[in-house]
């Protein structure tokens, strides 16, 4: 296998790259982002290349997308809040750059397996609270980010139907416990805002507070909660997201029997209040007192437009892993990265 990861400077990109190196199945792994990504620990069996570049550049895409590529993880993107604030930038990165990559790949290396990370924000609000959505429900995005991701989904699904590429479209839940992993790898340049799930500081994602209310207090820092504690989120841990991205790579095309390559990945529904209770259980009252409630109407509007309940039978039948509890996610984080306190 020769693998490319776009948006590789972000938290999920870095964790995925490290997992790929550990499994030692790939001959080469190329990591690219708008800032040169950090390289994972070296392997004797896998060559890792880190490349800085802009996927909106035709010249860069021509040099990056070579005929030897067999698998491509598309993780790049402008997140929800930033895409809503700057429509043209969201279109450029989430749609135009993605189409450019797909069109180059179908010409240069037809049939390559493409793992595209989409979002449950493609749906918009559910028909009624608690309604369990499936892949069969018609998306009606409540944000520009969801619309841009849905357009890219449709294109890759059609290219897969025509056997130009071999797509795997996974709609990610909000990634919980998305902590300052990048700070440990030297990837805190502010230009890394143009990646899917970003390390370190809060990002252009409307859901970035879901990471911040864990990350900052466990590092002894204050964090702002911009939404009501009664709101719910559909979330998943980083470990499970990476595990499921690897699984998506390995699913045979014939397993998608309904003709669609789209899968809603498993997750769990939690309220903000439950997240704060988990923070207190792990970090104590001291951590909880570092949360400042400061409502932000634009953020709350976007988050309220996201569905929070899913029937993920299709994903489970395809072998995607279910997530553990929120408390276990936090324990995993501390085990993997520590609290960051000195």
Q: What is the DSSP string of 282-313?
A: HHHHHHHTTEEE---HHHHHHHHTS---B--H
Q: Which residues, including other chains, have CB under 8 Å from residue 46's CB and lie 6 or more apart?
A: 20, 21, 24, 26, 27, 28, 29
Residue 339 binned pLDDT confidence (cut-offs 50, 70, 90): low
Q: What pLDDT is attached to residue 305?
A: 84
Question: Which of 9-18, 147-156, 202-211, 216-225 has the least mean pLDDT?
Answer: 202-211
Q: What pLDDT, on a 0 to 100 scale, did the predictor assign at position 299? A: 87
Q: How far apart are CA 196 and CA 29, in angstroms?
A: 18
Give the model's pLDDT for residue 140: 94
- For residue 61, pLDDT over 60 is answered with yes
pLDDT for position 185: 32
Which string of DSSP letters, residue by residue, matches 42-85? P-SS-EEEEEE--TT-HHHHHHHS-TT--EEEE-----HHHHHH
Q: What is the pLDDT of residue 326?
A: 78
User: Position of tokens 């400077």?
Assistant: 9
Q: Among all chains, which residue has been given the structure tokens 């190196």?
A: 21
Distance CA 80, CA 67 (A): 33
Q: Is 56 helix (H, G, I), strand (E, B) or coil?
A: coil
What does the pLDDT look like over 108-128, one tens digit per residue?
Answer: 999 999 999 999 999 988 888
Asked whether residue 274 carries a pLDDT value surpassing 80, the answer given is: yes
Judge whether residue 22 has pLDDT over 90: yes
Please give the model's pTM, rounded to 2 decimal places. Answer: 0.86
Q: What secondary structure, in 3-state letters, does 306-323 show?
A: CCCCECCHHHHHCCCCCC
CA 308 to chain centre: 17
- State percent of the chain over pLDDT 70: 89
Euclidean distance between CA atoms 156 and 151, whole angstroms: 9
Q: Tell me what pLDDT residue 187 has.
A: 33
How far, in Å, are 119, 198, 302 from residue 143 at the CA level?
11, 20, 7
Largest CA distance in the chain: 57
Query: Is the per-residue pLDDT at 139 higher than 60?
Result: yes
Residues with Cβ within 8 Å of 296's Cβ and at least 6 positions away in sequence, in order, are 226, 227
Q: Does residue 178 register a pLDDT over 70?
A: no
> So what's the pLDDT on residue 327?
77
Range name among 25-34, 39-48, 56-65 with the lowest pLDDT average = 39-48
pLDDT band at 338 (very low <50, low <70, confident <90, very high): low
Tokens of 46: 């896998």
The residues, any chain, with a CB within 8 Å of residue 203's CB and separated by 6 or more, are: 79, 82, 193, 197
Query: Does the pLDDT value for residue 3 go beyond 80?
Result: yes
Terminal-residue alpha carbon distance, the chain: 41
By C-alpha distance, which of 240, 214, 242 is closest to 340?
214
**Contact call for residues 268 and 323 (beta carbons, < 8 A):** yes
Residue 84 pLDDT > 70, yes or no? yes
Tell me which residue of 164, 166, 55 sits closest to 107, measured CA to CA: 164
pLDDT tier, 340 (very low <50, low <70, confident <90, very high otherwise): low
**Tokens encoding 265:** 């990945």
74: DSSP letter: E
pLDDT band of 196, cuts 50, 70, 90: very low
Res 204: pLDDT: 60
| pLDDT range class, residue 189, cuts 50, 70, 90 | very low
The lowest-confidence range among 72-86, 144-158, 286-300, 321-335 is 321-335
Residues 276-330: pLDDT tens digits?
A: 998 898 889 999 999 999 999 988 888 888 899 999 999 999 999 999 887 777 7
> How far is the CA of 337 from the CAs of 90, 195, 212, in angstroms?
32, 21, 15
Burial of 179 (0-12, 13-18, 19+ CB in 10 A): buried
pLDDT of residue 20: 95
Distance in angstroms (rounded) separating the CA atoms of residues 204 and 215: 16
Question: Per-residue confidence at 177, pLDDT binned at 50, 70, 90?
Answer: low
Position 210 confidence tier, pLDDT thresholds 50, 70, 90: confident
Q: What is the spatial distance between Cα 50 and Cα 32, in angstroms, rounded to a whole number?
A: 6
Positions marked active-site: 145
| Neighbouring-strand partners of residue 114 | 72, 167
């Amino acid at each position: 296998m020769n693998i490319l990861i776009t948006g590789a400077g972000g938290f999920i990109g870095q964790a995925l790259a490290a997992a790929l190196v550990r499994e030692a199945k790939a001959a080469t792994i190329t990591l690219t982002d708008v800032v040169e990504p950090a390289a994972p620990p070296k392997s004797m069996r896998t060559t890792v290349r880190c490349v800085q570049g802009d996927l909106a550049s035709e010249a860069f895409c021509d040099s990056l997308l070579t005929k030897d590529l067999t698998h491509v993880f598309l993780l790049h993107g402008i997140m929800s809040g930033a895409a809503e604030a700057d429509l043209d930038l969201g279109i450029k990165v989430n749609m135009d750059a993605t189409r450019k990559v797909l069109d180059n790949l179908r010409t240069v290396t037809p049939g390559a397996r493409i793992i595209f990370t989409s979002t449950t924000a493609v749906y918009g609000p559910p028909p009624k609270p608690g309604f369990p959505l499936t892949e069969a429900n018609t998306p009606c995005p409540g944000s520009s980010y969801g619309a841009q991701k849905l357009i890219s989904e449709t294109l890759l699904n059609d290219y897969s139907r025509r056997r130009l590429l071999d797509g795997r479209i996974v709609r990610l839940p909000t990634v919980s416990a998305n902590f300052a992993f990048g700070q440990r790898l030297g990837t805190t340049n502010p230009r890394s805002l143009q990646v899917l799930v970003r390390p370190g500081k809060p990002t252009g994602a409307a859901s970035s507070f879901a990471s911040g209310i864990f990350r900052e207090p466990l590092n002894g820092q204050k964090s702002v909660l911009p939404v009501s504690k009664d709101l719910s989120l559909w979330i998943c841990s980083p470990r499970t997201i990476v595990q499921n991205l690897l699984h998506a790579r390995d699913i045979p095309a014939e397993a998608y029997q309904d003709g669609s390559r789209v899968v809603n990945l498993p997750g769990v529904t939690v309220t903000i209040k439950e997240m704060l209770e988990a923070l207190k259980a792990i970090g104590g009252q001291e951590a909880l007192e570092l949360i400042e409630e400061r409502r932000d109407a634009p953020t709350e509007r976007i988050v309220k437009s996201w569905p929070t309940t899913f029937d993920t039978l299709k994903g489970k039948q395809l072998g995607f892993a279910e997530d553990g509890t929120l408390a276990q996610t936090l324990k995993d984080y501390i085990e993997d990265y520590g609290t960051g306190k000195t």
